[in-house]
Every structure is written in C-alpha cells, then in structure tokens.
Amino acid sequence: MKDKLEALKAEALTKLQAVSDPQILNDLRVKYLGKKGELTEVLRGMGGLSAEERPVIGQVANLVRSAIEEVIGAKQELFQQQETQNRLNAEKVDVTLQGRGLPQGGIHPLSRVIQEIEDIFIGMGYQVAEGPEVETDYYNFEALNLPKNHPARDMQDSFYITEDILMRTQTSPVQIRTMQAMNGETPVKVICPGKVFRRDDDDATHSFQFHQIEGLVIGRNIRMSDLKGTLQQFMKEMFGPSAGIRLRPSFFPFTEPSVEVDVSCFKCGGEGCRLCKQSGWLEILGAGMVHPNVLRMGGYDPEVYSGFAFGMGAERIAMLKYGIDDIRYFYTNDMGFVKQFKGI
C-alpha cells in the first residue's frame, strides 16, 4: 500500500506541474483528493492492515495529501495572479480624462419655506410639534369649539373616512393634543407644521391638499400685544426688516378676538403694485387669542391662563416670497420649475 501511495503521489505531482488551465487543475484536484478520488480509494484498503501497519500507512497518506494540496495551492495562486494581471491590462483607466459631472440637486421651494419658518420660530424659543393626518372629529372640530352642526364647519368641507374619522382640515388638532399632553403645565410654545386636506377644487390658488403651519402660546398674562409683537418679528425675518403688519377684525371659532394679519407689500414697499392689487398690503395669515372653550378642552383654566394662536399656509408664503402665481406648480413635478430655485 505504501508503494501505491508513493506511485499516486508521483503521478499526481507530474500532472499538476504540467497544468496550465484552472479548470483542468480543479478536475485533477477532484480526481486525486475528492470523496471518490484515487487517494480515498487507496485508503479504503487500510481495513486489511495490521494494527502496527495502520499508523505508518496513515502517516504516509497524510504526507501524500499535503504534497498534492501544496502544489494545487501554488497553482491556484499563480492562476489568480495571472487573472488579476490580465484584468489590469484590459481595464486600464486614463486618470487624466475629465470626469462626468453629476447634476446638482436643490431643496424644493415649499420645503425650503417650511424649514425657514421653523428656523425662525425655533429661534424664538418654540418647539416643533406634529400629529396624525388622519384625525378624529373630536380633535379636528369639537375640541376646537366647533361642535357638530356648527355652521363654521362648512368652511372646511372635509374628506371623511367614517362618521367620526377624517383627513384633518387643519393642524389645530396638534395644538389640542399638545395642550392635553402638557397636563396643565406652562409655558406652551409650539408650532405645528404639516399637510392638511379639504375638498377644494384645484385652481391657481386652491388645492385639496396643502401645508399649514400653526403656532400656539399659552401661559399667564399672554396678551394680544404679545401676538402682534411675535408676528411682527416673524414678518421682518421672513420678508425683510422693512416689513410691517396690520391686524383686521375677523372670526375664527377657536379664537376670540380673532384677526386677519396683513404684511406690507415687500415688492412695492406699500406704494401699491400688481402683487398687492394696489393696496400696499398682502393677506398672510389668521390669528387671535385662544378661545376660553378651547383652553378648557386642553386642560387649562381660562380664568388663570391665556394664550394666542396663529395659522398660515406654507404655499401662500412661498408664492408671495418667490412670485409664484399658481399653487399647482408645487405638485406637478416640473423639473424646469424646481430648478429655478436650486441656487436660492
């Protein structure tokens, strides 16, 4: 058996040394070292050996296997080196060639405006609060002083999913949720950005989906003058240091008193132009002092605490700021429109 092993070793090494193809190398590896290979076949005869002969033959078999594996390993490494060199020769890269330029992206103008508004109010000490877009009738209307069958609901014709669940028509529900989560603690100072949904016909100034940003402040001795000062500072940072505001009486069920807030036209400086329709003012948002009923719904005693709230449409701000005349441009995926704002 020892002679068979030595003969097998000599035969295998001779054939392996002459191999010049990786596939033939693998075939020889299987032939000599595989489960059904020739070395295995020789070793099956060890059952007929004496106890003294088995260790000797086993040692010889291991030496034969090691010798064959060593030659195979060396050949495999050589083939790998040759393959790598061939690929390097075939895949040369001219590093002096000019690279391909990648198109530069930009932030969508609507996203930019929302981020800018958030940054302004965060700088005033506000926190950003968010809530679900699918809301209950309670949070969207009832807790905001709009009980069922209230006529003011007609101004917010809605997408109802069930009788009591709908797509929110405003981000005001986030204000109620925030108030309740505070458990009567103050101060409350948040802005609530997000998408809202109303059954509007799409045209140049209306969309069934748009973005709203609302603000809420609650504490002791909060007054209308605090609201005016806050909005005045916001307008100056958003539209420039010369921006002024005016308050006009209005009605909102969740604030009392309520006001419409206008900003002086930043295009003509209040002199009158096409943008402001010769009035010198641009309608920008609604605001007011938080209604006592809303304070109670949020867990605050209106005899002790007061607050103000305001709400604006992000699309309205963006359209005024960038001179966009159709709200539908924000949603039609027109790259020509978006690229105009790449460098802003």
Annotation: binding site for Mg(2+) = 256
Sign for the CA dihedral angle at 71, 77, 79, 85 comes to negative
Burial of 100 (0-12, 13-18, 19+ CB in 10 A): exposed
Locate the DSSP E strands across the chain. Answer: 127-128, 134-136, 165-167, 188-197, 209-219, 245-252, 255-264, 281-290, 306-313
> Quick one: CA dihedral 291, 293, 298, 303, positive or negative?
positive
The rounded distance, in Å, linking the Cα atoms of 166 and 85 is: 66
Strand partners, 259: 249, 287
Instruction: Tell me if 284 sits within 8 A of 267, measured CB to CB.
Output: no
In one-letter notation, the amino acid at residue 150 is H
Residue 263: Cβ within 10 Å count: 25
User: In 3D, which of 52, 51, 34, 45 has the Cα closest to residue 3?
Assistant: 45
CB atoms within 10 A of CB 333: 8
> How far is it, in rounded angstroms, from Cα 300 to Cα 201?
38
Q: Which residues make beta-bridge pairs with 247? A: 261
φ/ψ region of 73 (left if φ > 0, alpha if ψ in -120 to 50, else beta) reads alpha
Binding residue positions: 256
The dihedral built from the CA positions of residue 108, 111, 112 and 113, taken in this order, carries a sign that is positive
Task: Output the six-digit token pair for 240.
Answer: 């420039």
CA–CA dist 189, 65 (Å, integer):
79
Any idea what DSSP says for residue 189? E
